Amino acid sequence: MAKIIEVTDLIKRYKKATTNAVDGVSFEVEEGEFFTMLGPNGAGKTTTISVLNTTLDKTNGSVKVGGMEIEKNPAGVRKIIGVIFQNPSLDLNLTAEENVRFHVFMYGLFPYRITYGLMPPDYKKKVKELSEILGIEKEIHQPVKTFSGGMKRKLEIVRGLIHRPKLLFLDEPTTGLDPQSRKNLWSYLKTVRKNENLTLFLTTHYLEEAEESDRICIIDDGKIVSLGTPLDIKKDLIEEYLILDSDNRKVLKEELDQSKLKYVEEGAIKVWVKENQIQDIIRNLKTKLTSIQIHTPTLEEAYLEIIDKENEKNN
């Protein structure tokens, strides 16, 4: 499958900064992929997106979007991308529809018309369809300054999709959205992705959203600390463990020692296990167990542990 994003050794240092905001990052994203960048605040996620969408110059490295070098052909890159910014980028003095209309003129989709009534039927149909999906069809002709945070977000999404980008950057897009709107948005994005082979590049704090993606890139202090499928990240970076207990804990520990299993006594006995090892361990134990729990880490735990490890390393 063709690569839609190719980043090699990307470095970005802001003016007057003493450290790099993005520090030698390399990754690739395939067409149609759902790629998520995860990381704490200040990790370099928005900086990376800003470089990729051509609004910020890189300091070093090579970046290609849609096969185009971002510095040689920024206009070509901008044609194929859409961006949902972290902070709403709407004109509060215009109505919702006027904001969308401004956008379509900027993308050269329709010739300039001063009123909605003069716009072609194709445009009206598209606006209606998108606003219905996101549930803002009644408010589409209202001034944006009367909108709640969630409605503004929905409007940005309508606007970001109307020119049918091949690659959509979503910089924490569901912040401020109620659960129902978040669900509708993701359901819609999944449909668009499937029908139009849309590539999604997401940054989010909602780990359940990241879990839905094809691959996750965990970034901290401007560096990639983990990159892979959600399953890979969980498997590779966090060990599963068993929590066992017995009335005769001493014998249980001896038995674990004999089997050369790594464990720690934390209230009960925590035994680290490798993949597909659980059944063998349980079968071989002769000590009568009083409790048994299998702990499979969530992505959130994996993420927090990775970030903690990185912070410990840096300190």
For helices 121-133 and 96-106, angle between their N-to-C axes, nearest 10 degrees: 120
Residue type, 83: V
Place of tokens 């009367």: 146
Tell me which of 94, 192, 268, 289 binds another protein, using CB under 8 A.
94
- Give the range of 30-38, 55-63, 147-155, 306-314 binding another protein by CB under 8 A: 55-63
Could you give the CA distance from residue 253 to residue 269 in angstroms, rounded to a whole number?
8
30 neighbors 3 (Cβ within 8 angstroms): yes
Residue number with CB closer to another protein (42 or 108) = 108
Residue number with CB closer to another protein (93 or 291) = 93
Tell me if 146 contacts another protein by CB under 8 A.
Answer: no
110 neighbors 163 (Cβ within 8 angstroms): no
What is the x/- site pattern for another protein, positions 235-274, by CB under 8 A? ----------------------------------------
- Give the range of 36-44, 90-98, 117-125, 176-184 binding another protein by CB under 8 A: 90-98
Q: Provide CB contacts within 8 A for 60, sequence distance 6+.
A: 9, 10, 11
- Give the range of 71-79, 194-202, 250-258, 293-301 binding another protein by CB under 8 A: 71-79
Could you give the CA distance from residue 201 to residue 64 in angstroms, rounded to a whole number?
14
- Give the range of 87-95, 132-140, 181-189, 257-265 binding another protein by CB under 8 A: 87-95
Cβ at position 262, least distance to another protein in Å:
48
* Residue 315 CB burial class (10 angstroms; 0-12, 13-18, ≥19): exposed
3-state DSSP assignment of residue 254: helix
Nearest to 244 by CA among 202, 303, 297, 287: 287
Tell me if 81 contacts another protein by CB under 8 A.
Answer: yes
Nearest to 211 by CA among 83, 296, 298: 298
Residue type, 129: E
Residue number with CB closer to another protein (54 or 204) = 54
Interface of this chain with another protein, residues 104 to 123, rule: CB under 8 A: 105-108, 110-112, 114
Tell me if 98 contacts another protein by CB under 8 A.
Answer: yes
Tell me which of 37, 63, 65, 83 binds another protein, using CB under 8 A.
83
Number of C-beta neighbours around residue 131 at 10 A: 21
Residue number with CB closer to another protein (15 or 138) = 15
Tell me which of 89, 146, 197, 296 binds another protein, using CB under 8 A.
89
Tell me which of 2, 18, 19, 75 binds another protein, using CB under 8 A.
75
CA Rg value for the chain: 24
Residues of this chain that interact with another protein (CB under 8 A) are: 14-15, 53-57, 75-76, 78-79, 81, 83, 85, 87-94, 98, 101-103, 105-108, 110-112, 114, 159
